[in-house]
Amino acid sequence: MLGNISGLDKEAVLLAKKELDSKMKPQGSLGILEKIAIQMAGIYGYPVKQIEKKCHIVASADNGVIEEGISSCPIEYTKIVSEAMLNKIAAIGILTKRLGVEFNLVDIGIASSIPREYPNLYRKNVKKGTNNFYKEPAMSREECLKAIKVGMDLIEEKGDGIVVFSNGEMGIGNTSTSSAVLYSFTKKDIDSIVGRGGGLSDSGLIKKKKIIVESCEKYNTFDMDPIDVLAHVGGLDIACMVGMYLGCVKYRKLMLVDGFISAVGALVAYKIEPLVKDFILATHMSEEPGMKIVLDEIGKQAFLNMEMRLGEGTGAVLTYPMLECAIDIINTMKKPTEVYDLFSK
């Protein structure tokens, strides 16, 4: 699937670290900014070049498990909000417009089609919403693999030059699917994994946890490979994001990880190919309780905590200016001798 791949360029990493350590500052004192610059060097090469294009991709899909009454929003919400994003009146559309980030949306599994055409809408629908995983597997393995390939192909198509990607999702019920995937991988305490999503009541939250536990136990997802876990209790939006992460490894691009659902997609991809860890940057700490567990599983830390839990990639895109600042630091900041030569006379 990925061919001949490798992790970070170790020589470029060392050169970037050496350059940052030589600047007029205590070593490591710019923290995350320095780590970003070093990771960028490892992916794109040294010297670090400025970002040529910032590209955000939202994967939209519906989830049949909402038939069980474990979502606070109706199914048509996925289609309506997706179109609002395309018209830049939903949160992610507004943020990407403000930040100069190219926005794209892929219909990977919306139950009913978006009726209008948009130049940045990709119609790649694999299935008109997944099955209700409480009653039957969400999708076939073949459908899951097809959605993964769409994600990989998008990275290839959009990846010319020094491109940094971010992703997000839209799909009613997808905190249930992502929680089920995480539970399958970790079997951690269900209360530490499952949150309220879009705002479930207490009784709705109890039911959501029950359905996830019973479904995972019924299929014994704990002993499955990552793709089969995703096919049984996951969603097409997550599968498409998995493909994006794998595509970033294959085509050597940085992917900014958003919140809980985006991070679960990263975890699935990491389970498939551990080198994914080198090509992702965890951005913000979602308010969903399972977020810490996901990041611990991958071995990553998020550096923003903005009390956000919307999804869509809203947290990830906010970090693009920080990436550009990190590159400016390594490329522009002077060394002590240079500063002394300029100002000591």
- Which residues touch 45 (CB under 8 Å, ≥6 apart)? 9, 12
Helix (H, G, I), strand (E, B) or coil at 123: strand
Tokens linked to 302: 């998020």
Cβ neighbours of 135 (radius 10 Å): 12
What is the pLDDT at residue 59? Answer: 98
What is the pLDDT at residue 23? Answer: 97
Q: Which fold, 10-49+328-343?
A: 1.10.1610
CATH number of 53-320: 3.40.50.10210
Mark whether 136 is an active-site residue. Answer: no
Across-strand partners of 54?
Answer: 164
**pLDDT < 70: residue spans in the chain:** 197-200, 204
For the chain, the distance separating the N- and C-terminal CA atoms, rounded to the nearest angstrom, is: 60
Q: In whole angstroms, what is the distance from residue 201 CA to residue 51 CA?
A: 43
Helix (H, G, I), strand (E, B) or coil at 51: coil
Supply the DSSP symbol for 334: P
Task: Measure Cα distances from 312 to 25, 66, 104, 189, 237 in Å.
Answer: 37, 19, 11, 27, 11
Structural domain boundaries of the chain? 10-49+328-343, 53-320
The mean predicted confidence, pLDDT, of the chain is: 95
Q: In whole angstroms, what is the distance from residue 189 CA to residue 275 CA?
A: 28
- Taking a C-beta distance cutoff of 8 angstroms, is the pair 133, 184 a contact? no
pLDDT tens readout for residues 198-235: 666 777 678 889 999 999 999 999 999 999 999 999 99
What is the pLDDT at residue 198? Answer: 65
Q: In whole angstroms, what is the distance from residue 303 CA to residue 266 CA?
A: 17
- Which residues touch 123 (CB under 8 Å, ≥6 apart)? 107, 113, 114
In the set 34, 68, 169, 312, the catalytic residue is: 312
From the list 163, 151, 130, the residue with the least C-alpha distance to 268 is 151
Across-strand partners of 58?
Answer: 105, 168
Place of tokens 């879009």: 198
Q: Position 51: which residue type?
A: I
Residue 119: how many CA atoms within 13 Å on its side-chain side?
2
Tokens linked to 236: 């097409």
Across-strand partners of 103?
Answer: 56
